[in-house]
Chain A
Amino acid sequence: MSDAESDGVTFDNVGLRYGTDREILQDVSFTLHPGSFYFLTGASGAGKTSLLKLLYLAQRPSRGAIRMFGTDIITMPRNRLPAFRRRLGVVFQDFRLVPHLSAFDNVALPLRVSGVREADLRKPVGDMLDWVGLSDRIDAHPATLSGGEQQRVAIARAVIGRPDMLVADEPTGNVDPEMALKLLRLFESLNRLGTTVVVATHDVHLLKKVPESLIMRLDKGKLSDPTGALRYPPRASGGNS
Chain B
Amino acid sequence: MKKPPAIKESTARGLNPFRGEQAAQLVPQARLAGPMPWVIAIMIALTVVAAAGGLALSNMADSARAEIAGGATVQILEPSLTERERQVIAAEAALAEDPVVASIRRVPDEELDALLEPWLGVGADNEAVPVPALIDVRLREDATESTLNRLRGILANAAPAARMDAQSSWLGPVFSAIQSLKWLAAALAVLLGITSAAAVWLAARSALGTNQDTIEVVHLLGGTDRQIARIFERSIGFDATLGGAVGLAIGVAVVVVLGRQFVALGSGMVSGGGLGWLDWVLIAMVPIAGVLVAMLTARLTVLAALRRML
Contact = CB atoms under 8 A, between A and B. Distances in A.
Contacts of B3: 189
Interface centre among A56, A118, A162 (most CB of B within 10 A): A162
A52 to B, nearest CB: 11
B7 A105 contact: no
Interface in A93-141: 96-101, 105, 109-116, 118, 120-121, 124, 127-128, 130-131
A115 B221 CA distance: 12
Given A58-B310, A131-B5, A162-B6, A113 B12 contact: no
B306 to A, nearest CB: 10
B272 interface: no
A81 interface: yes
B222 interface: yes
B220 A90 contact: yes
A230 B47 CA distance: 66
A86 B310 contact: no
Nearest to B217: A96
A110 B16 CA distance: 12
Nearest to A160: B7
State the majority secondary structure of interface residues on A. Answer: helix
A96 B222 contact: no
Interface in A134-190: 159-162, 164, 182, 185-186, 189-190
B258 interface: no
Contacts of B179: none
A87 interface: yes
B25 interface: yes
A128 to B, nearest CB: 5
Contact of A124 (B5, B17, B26, B216): B5
A131 B221 contact: no
Contacts of B22: 105, 112, 118
Contacts of A59: 310
Q: Which of B14, B22, B28, B213 has the most CB of A within 10 A?
A: B22
A109 B218 CA distance: 8
A113 B10 contact: no
Contacts of B216: 96
A40 to B, nearest CB: 18
**CB-CB nearest 4 A-B residue pairs:** A115-B16, A86-B222, A127-B5, A85-B222
20 contacts: A83-B13, A83-B15, A83-B222, A86-B13, A86-B222, A96-B213, A96-B217, A98-B214, A105-B25, A109-B221, A112-B23, A113-B223, A116-B11, A128-B5, A131-B2, A162-B7, A162-B10, A185-B1, A189-B3, A190-B6
Interface of A: 56-60, 78-79, 81-88, 90, 96-101, 105, 109-116, 118, 120-121, 124, 127-128, 130-131, 159-162, 164, 182, 185-186, 189-190, 193
